[in-house]
Amino acid sequence: MVAPIAVTIAGSDSSGGAGIQADIKTFSALGVYGACVITALTAQNTRGVALIEAASPAMIAAQMAAVFDDLDVRAVKLGMVGDAAAITVVAEGLALRRLPVVLDPVMVAKSGDRLLAPAALDALRRQLLPHATLLTPNLPEAADLLDCAQATTEAEMTRQGKALRAMGPKAVLMKGGHGAGETCVDLLICADGVTRLTAPRRATRNTHGTGCTLSAAIAAGLAQDWTLPEAVARAHAYLQGAIAAADGLGVGHGAGPVHHFHKVWANG
């Protein structure tokens, strides 16, 4: 057996619920070997982020070269990049390789702490969006990227998704987790139309790392040669299971993580 390989380019979460750690857990749970490029260290837990220390552009470039020059990477998940210098070096590295890229535009942690420097937002738009096979913004992130008000209806989500797609990504997944109502609606916006994915909105505070987990799960699907709609649908179902099982973990005293191994641990 030759394992499919995906790489996550993101920040480290010392509490293990989001970032690099969540991505590699997700890859592993879905049968994909995970490698990583760490863009920043964070001192954080379920209550908040205490400190962020960025990796140097040289270190990011060296990690990318080390991973891509040796491993047969099939897909890339791109998360927290932190600042404009990191964005530039990541974009340069991606330009050398033609791989599926799932871009989760991580800007703010679940605790509300800022993870992307405001000055780097334009660099993210110009340099990274054109590399994305799929962009996966939540509603506040979409509004920041477009410099507009947050969408409150599905029609507005669709319009914003199409506007974001016009900025370079081949497809956009507008995530409705920050919306209202008993049903959470995500919209996959591609060249050939819009696909609606729904799930019941669960009453839990343990949703730390949901965005990281979903984007990593999609990248895992692409690494296994699934079509984009299939990868998104399967990742959506996986995440719903991870959220449903999250309260059983009992990790931390704040917003705990989702249960990445809900299927594996349930079977002993």
Catalytic residues: 175, 207, 209-212
Whether residue 93 contacts residue 61, with contact meaning beta carbons closer than 8 Å, is answered with yes
Distance CA 50, CA 109 (A): 12
Distance CA 13, CA 17 (A): 7
Compute CA distances 133 → 104, 112, 181, 184, 221, whole Å: 11, 27, 30, 23, 13
- Give every CB contact of residue 98 below 8 A, 6+ residues apart in sequence: none
Distance CA 79, CA 76 (A): 10
